[in-house]
Protein backbone atom coordinates (compact mmCIF):
# COMPACT_ATOMS: atom_id res chain seq x y z
CA UNK A 1 0.00 0.00 0.00
CA UNK A 2 1.11 3.53 -0.69
CA UNK A 3 2.33 5.32 2.39
CA UNK A 4 1.39 8.75 1.03
CA UNK A 5 -1.37 9.40 -1.48
CA UNK A 6 -1.94 12.65 -3.28
CA UNK A 7 -4.93 12.30 -5.55
CA UNK A 8 -4.77 15.66 -7.30
CA UNK A 9 -2.16 15.62 -10.09
CA UNK A 10 -2.95 19.22 -10.98
CA UNK A 11 -4.82 22.10 -9.42
CA UNK A 12 -5.67 25.62 -10.51
CA UNK A 13 -6.47 28.51 -8.21
CA UNK A 14 -7.23 32.16 -8.77
CA UNK A 15 -4.75 34.61 -7.32
CA UNK A 16 -5.70 35.72 -3.78
CA UNK A 17 -7.99 32.72 -3.31
CA UNK A 18 -7.37 29.86 -0.88
CA UNK A 19 -6.60 26.35 -2.09
CA UNK A 20 -6.48 22.96 -0.38
CA UNK A 21 -4.10 20.24 -1.51
CA UNK A 22 -5.09 16.77 -0.38
CA UNK A 23 -2.87 14.20 1.28
CA UNK A 24 -3.72 10.92 2.94
CA UNK A 25 -1.24 8.63 4.63
CA UNK A 26 -0.97 5.08 5.82
CA UNK A 27 0.87 4.03 8.94
CA UNK A 28 0.40 1.80 11.93
CA UNK A 29 2.87 3.82 14.00
CA UNK A 30 1.56 6.01 16.78
CA UNK A 31 4.41 8.46 16.42
CA UNK A 32 5.09 10.03 13.06
CA UNK A 33 5.66 13.35 11.40
CA UNK A 34 3.94 14.83 8.38
CA UNK A 35 5.61 17.36 6.12
CA UNK A 36 4.83 19.45 3.09
CA UNK A 37 7.39 20.55 0.55
CA UNK A 38 7.23 22.91 -2.40
CA UNK A 39 9.24 22.34 -5.55
CA UNK A 40 9.34 25.25 -7.99
CA UNK A 41 10.43 24.74 -11.56
CA UNK A 42 14.00 25.42 -10.46
CA UNK A 43 13.98 21.98 -8.84
CA UNK A 44 14.90 22.70 -5.24
CA UNK A 45 12.61 21.22 -2.60
CA UNK A 46 11.55 23.77 -0.01
CA UNK A 47 10.26 22.72 3.40
CA UNK A 48 6.93 24.39 4.20
CA UNK A 49 5.29 22.95 7.29
CA UNK A 50 5.42 20.12 9.80
CA UNK A 51 2.74 18.36 11.87
CA UNK A 52 3.51 15.82 14.56
CA UNK A 53 1.13 12.96 15.17
CA UNK A 54 0.70 13.99 18.80
CA UNK A 55 0.10 17.65 18.04
CA UNK A 56 -3.45 18.52 18.90
CA UNK A 57 -3.52 21.79 17.03
CA UNK A 58 -3.13 22.18 13.31
CA UNK A 59 0.23 23.55 12.28
CA UNK A 60 0.43 26.98 10.68
CA UNK A 61 3.29 28.79 9.01
CA UNK A 62 2.34 32.13 7.56
CA UNK A 63 -0.06 31.52 4.68
CA UNK A 64 0.33 27.75 5.03
CA UNK A 65 -1.74 25.64 7.38
CA UNK A 66 -2.04 21.92 7.71
CA UNK A 67 -5.51 20.49 8.22
CA UNK A 68 -4.69 17.40 10.27
CA UNK A 69 -7.43 14.82 10.70
CA UNK A 70 -5.81 11.93 12.49
CA UNK A 71 -8.75 9.55 12.45
CA UNK A 72 -9.11 9.96 8.71
CA UNK A 73 -5.32 9.89 8.23
CA UNK A 74 -5.35 13.03 6.21
CA UNK A 75 -2.98 15.98 6.25
CA UNK A 76 -4.21 18.52 3.76
CA UNK A 77 -2.24 21.66 3.02
CA UNK A 78 -4.19 24.90 2.88
CA UNK A 79 -2.62 27.89 1.16
CA UNK A 80 -4.44 31.11 1.85
CA UNK A 81 -4.34 34.20 -0.37
CA UNK A 82 -2.57 32.43 -3.24
CA UNK A 83 0.22 34.28 -5.01
CA UNK A 84 1.69 33.77 -8.46
CA UNK A 85 4.88 32.56 -6.82
CA UNK A 86 2.96 29.68 -5.27
CA UNK A 87 2.84 27.97 -8.65
CA UNK A 88 4.89 24.82 -8.11
CA UNK A 89 4.76 21.11 -7.33
CA UNK A 90 3.74 20.31 -3.78
CA UNK A 91 4.74 17.12 -2.05
CA UNK A 92 3.34 15.58 1.08
CA UNK A 93 5.73 13.41 3.10
CA UNK A 94 5.74 11.29 6.23
CA UNK A 95 8.38 9.90 8.50
CA UNK A 96 7.61 7.23 11.06
CA UNK A 97 9.37 7.06 14.39
CA UNK A 98 10.35 3.46 13.72
CA UNK A 99 13.40 4.75 11.95
CA UNK A 100 12.54 4.45 8.32
CA UNK A 101 12.96 6.89 5.53
CA UNK A 102 10.80 9.76 4.47
CA UNK A 103 7.93 8.66 2.26
CA UNK A 104 6.83 11.12 -0.40
CA UNK A 105 3.64 11.36 -2.38
CA UNK A 106 3.52 11.79 -6.13
CA UNK A 107 2.91 15.49 -5.82
CA UNK A 108 0.31 18.03 -6.90
CA UNK A 109 1.07 20.64 -9.50
CA UNK A 110 -0.46 23.94 -8.47
CA UNK A 111 -0.98 26.75 -10.95
CA UNK A 112 -2.02 30.17 -9.72
CA UNK A 113 -3.96 32.12 -12.30
CA UNK A 114 -3.73 35.93 -12.30
Nearest to another protein of 14, 30 (CB atom): 30
- Of 2, 7, 14, 101, which one interacts with another protein (CB under 8 A)? 101
Rounded to the nearest 5°, which phi and psi values hold at 85?
A: -70, -5
DSSP 8-class letter at 85: G
Q: Which residues contact 28 (CB under 8 A, 6 or more apart)?
A: none
- Residue 67: count other Cβ atoms within 10 Å of its Cβ: 16
Which of 25, 37, 68, 90 is the binder for another protein (CB under 8 A)?
Answer: 37
Tell me which residues touch another protein (CB under 8 A).
29, 31-33, 35, 37, 42-47, 50, 52-53, 91, 95-104, 106-107
Amino acid sequence: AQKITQTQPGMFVQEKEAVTLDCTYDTSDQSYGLFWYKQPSSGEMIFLIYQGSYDEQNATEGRYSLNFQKARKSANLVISASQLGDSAMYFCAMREATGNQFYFGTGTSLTVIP
